[in-house]
Homo-oligomer: A and B are copies of this chain.
């Protein structure tokens, strides 16, 4: 049994590279998972750029599946060798925010997000999972790693954005940006019974995926003002829900402009790149009395949600793998990571296979 492992780590602002680290040991309620497949997330690119203060040598990554390697003394119901997925967020489910239903805010603002920010991430050969009883989700035998791994962050986050749009059957929704989270929101809106799905996206390959995943119309920002295009598509009335999946002040504002009175603006974009406050234009907000709602969320954690997504994959209703534009061995992880930084070659999600 080896004592050390390889991990892609933060090595100072702007630098990431593979280093050797000790294989973690489980506390009583933890599990150690041996990684088999992982996806690289743009959040890690943000982290390496300095968005979140992280000590040097901290392993990156939070989208991975693997096999149970070791279990804490108090963990029951799992055995070494079982295939498992672990959400990008791993809440304790015991603290006040968790009990109130905000497990993403475990023990404080955004505190459910523990990989990399609070401990080593899982772009590593092995990783520790806190509160394993709640955070390990068994992967059904007929579900391959390359599908299951999408449940850990992309689909869960995108579906959360779709859920917060609070659509009634047949209502309309506009989804701003069709990166992997926006595409997942598109899949989610389709699943939740949207009648009209408008995807906003300029890159052809993402436009095509948006259509494939359920968008009825794609609005291209190059074709003119996005707000006007969406109002035109809805007879001037606007949409019932708007999902911000980009993380830009203008897009956030556009979401307010394209929603009907009573509409929901669901934010899943990360607004850490631009320090200026978000702005709410008064007129489309009805001077604060429009019955519009602004809702925000972060990838919900826990095995139950993962298992529900697995059910959707097994019944054939959800297949996110067309988002996997590239595939690498873990020995190529540095190249894969750099590709995610540059977004070259039409990359959406690079899949990493561990030996």
Residues of A bordering B, CB below 8 Å: 27-29, 73-74, 92-102, 104-105, 108-110, 131, 133-134, 159, 163, 168-172, 188, 191-193, 195-196, 216, 244, 247, 252-253, 260-262, 267-272, 275-282, 285-298, 302-305, 307-312, 314-315, 317
A192 touches B163 (CB 8 A): no
Give the residue name and chain of the B residue nearest to A247 (CB): B288
Which one, B105, B277, B286, B295, contacts A109 given CB within 8 A? Answer: B286
8 Å CB contact of A312 from B193, B269, B295:
B193
- Taking the nearest CB of chain B, how far is it from the CB of A279, in angstroms? 4
What is the distance, in angstroms, from A305's C-beta to the closest C-beta of chain B?
Answer: 8
Q: Is A271 touching B288 in the complex (CB atoms < 8 A)?
A: yes
Copies of this chain, tallied across the complex: 4
Question: Are B261's CB and A302's CB within 8 A?
Answer: no
The interface residues of chain B lying within 8 Å CB-to-CB of A110 are 261, 286-287, 289-290
Bound CA–CA A94/B159 (angstroms): 22
Q: Are B308 and A262 in contact (CB under 8 A)?
A: no
Q: Is the beta-carbon distance between A131 and B94 smaller than 8 angstroms?
A: yes
Task: Decide: A293 near B293, CB < 8 A? Known: A102-B262, A131-B94, A188-B169.
Answer: yes
Which residues of B are found within 8 Å of A307, using beta-carbon distances? 96, 170
Is the beta-carbon distance between B262 and A287 smaller than 8 angstroms? no
What residue in chain B is nearest A253 (Cβ atoms)?
B277
20 extra A-B contacts, CB within 8 A, seeds A168-B308, A280-B280, A293-B293: A29-B74, A96-B304, A96-B307, A99-B304, A105-B260, A105-B261, A105-B286, A169-B308, A171-B311, A195-B315, A196-B311, A216-B315, A271-B282, A277-B279, A278-B280, A288-B296, A289-B297, A290-B296, A291-B298, A293-B295
